[in-house]
């Protein structure tokens, strides 16, 4: 049993189909990068795996159990998703927002325990935002907001960590910092799935690549096996030249 299993899931918004029989299993300790052109269904797949949408057909299972059978609170203890930046509560103190990650672990009255505080402080430290913890969210820069949101997701914990374009808004240092942290979450035994646009980052950090096109999974495997020049030309319509450096494949556009 894998922590996260998507079995031939289809989904559409109204009459417009978005996903056609997509399957993906992610093992404990594995980092999978989802790549594909805009509109290929990556974010919708993430929403399906996070239980925000129900598949029209097929199933999504977490810890071997159909996610339709979870309550939201119980589900949140297993699966955390870093969404693409939506609205953040401008007036809220940053640490209070990060503390919201602990909500699903708290009882009926939502009393925050000392253990909760330890987890929150650890998450803040890991994302290098501990010094900003008492600022209001509205005072933070885009990159700082993104790191706070990641800290909230880390504080939430769980066996499955989903990251939808997590490196948006971040400078190079924090992009790699976040990806290293995600990689470590996988090493700690979590199943990690991240939507990434940068092939280099995907091929360095991911154990496997899931390549999507027009709502279908068109390739799942090792970075070198999936991100070939032929596949990139077929899916993205761009001719590239792959260069191998220290085990990673970097794709340079041919018609520069």
Partner 1 sequence: MRLGVLVVLLAVLALIQVAFGALWIPPARVLEALTGPPRDFTDTIILQQRLPRVAVACTVGAALAVAGLVLQKVMQNVLVSPSTLGINAGATVAVVLAMFFGMSGGTLLFPALIGGTAAMGATLLASRLIAGQGDRRLDLVLAGSMIGILCSSVSTFVISLDPDLFGDLMGWLVGDIGNFDYLALPVVLPVVAVALAIALILCPQLDLLTTGEDQARLLGVNTALLQGLALALAVLLAVAAVVVVGPIGFIGLVVPHLVKLAMGETGRATLVAVALTGPCLLMLADILARVALAPRVLHVGTVMGLSGGAIFLVMVLALVRRGRA
Nearer to partner 1 among residue 30 and residue 164 (C-beta):
164
Ranges within 84-103 binding partner 1 (CB under 8 A): 86-89, 91-93, 96-97, 100-101, 103
Nearer to partner 1 among residue 20 and residue 103 (C-beta):
103
Give min distance, CB of 67 to partner 1, in A: 12
Conformational region of residue 65, where left means phi above 0, alpha means psi within -120 to 50, and beta covers everything else:
beta
Nearer to partner 1 among residue 38 and residue 71 (C-beta):
71
Nearer to partner 1 among residue 79 and residue 196 (C-beta):
79
Site map 54..83 versus partner 1, x via CB under 8 A: -----------------xxxxxxx--xx-x
Give min distance, CB of 81 to partner 1, in A: 5
Ranges within 148-177 binding partner 1 (CB under 8 A): 156
* Cβ(78)–Cβ(160) below 8 Å: yes
Give min distance, CB of 209 to partner 1, in A: 25
**Residue 148 has which token pair?**
């706070």
Given 14, 15, 16, 109, the residue binding partner 1 (CB under 8 A): 109
User: Helices in the chain by DSSP H: which ranges?
Assistant: 42-49, 72-78, 94-99, 114-126, 142-156, 172-187, 199-205, 223-226, 229-236
* Cβ(239)–Cβ(233) below 8 Å: yes
Q: How far apart are CA 32 and CA 34, in angstroms?
A: 6
Nearer to partner 1 among residue 96 and residue 207 (C-beta):
96
Torsion angle of alpha carbons 64, 206, 194, 57, nearest 10°? -40
Q: With binding defined as CB under 8 A, does residue 107 bind partner 1? A: no
Given 64, 107, 108, 252, the residue binding partner 1 (CB under 8 A): 108
User: How many angstroms separate the Cα of 153 from the Cα of each of 107, 113, 119, 205?
Assistant: 19, 18, 11, 19
**Residue 45 has which token pair?**
């797949």
Q: Taking the CA of residue 165 as centre, how many other CA atoms within 13 Å lie in the half-sphere pointing to its CB?
A: 15
């Amino acid at each position: 049993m894998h922590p996260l299993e998507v079995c031939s899931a289809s989904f559409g918004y109204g009459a417009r189909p978005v996903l056609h029989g997509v399957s993906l299993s992610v093992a404990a300790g594995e980092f999978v990068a989802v790549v594909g052109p805009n509109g290929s269904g990556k974010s919708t797949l993430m929403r399906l795996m996070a239980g925000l949408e129900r598949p029209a057909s097929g199933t999504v299972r977490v810890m071997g159990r159909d996610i339709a059978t979870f309550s939201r609170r119980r589900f949140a203890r297993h699966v955390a998703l870093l969404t693409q930046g939506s609205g953040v509560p401008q007036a809220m103190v940053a640490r209070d927002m990060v503390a919201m990650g602990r909500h699903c672990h708290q009882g009926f009255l939502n009393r925050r325990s000392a253990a909760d505080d330890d987890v929150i402080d650890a998450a803040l430290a890991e994302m290098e935002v501990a010094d900003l913890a008492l600022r209001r969210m509205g005072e933070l820069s885009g990159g700082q907001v993104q790191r706070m949101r990641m800290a909230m997701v880390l504080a939430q914990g769980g066996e499955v960590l989903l990251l939808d374009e997590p490196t948006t808004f971040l400078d190079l240092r924090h992009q790699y910092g976040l990806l290293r942290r995600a990689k470590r979450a996988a090493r700690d035994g979590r199943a990690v799935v991240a939507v990434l646009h940068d092939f280099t980052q995907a091929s360095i950090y991911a154990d496997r690549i899931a390549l999507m096109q027009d709502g279908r999974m068109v390739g799942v495997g090792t970075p070198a096996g999936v991100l070939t020049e032929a596949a990139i030309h077929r899916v993205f319509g761009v001719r590239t030249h792959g260069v191998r450096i220290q085990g990673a494949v970097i794709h340079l556009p041919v018609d520069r």
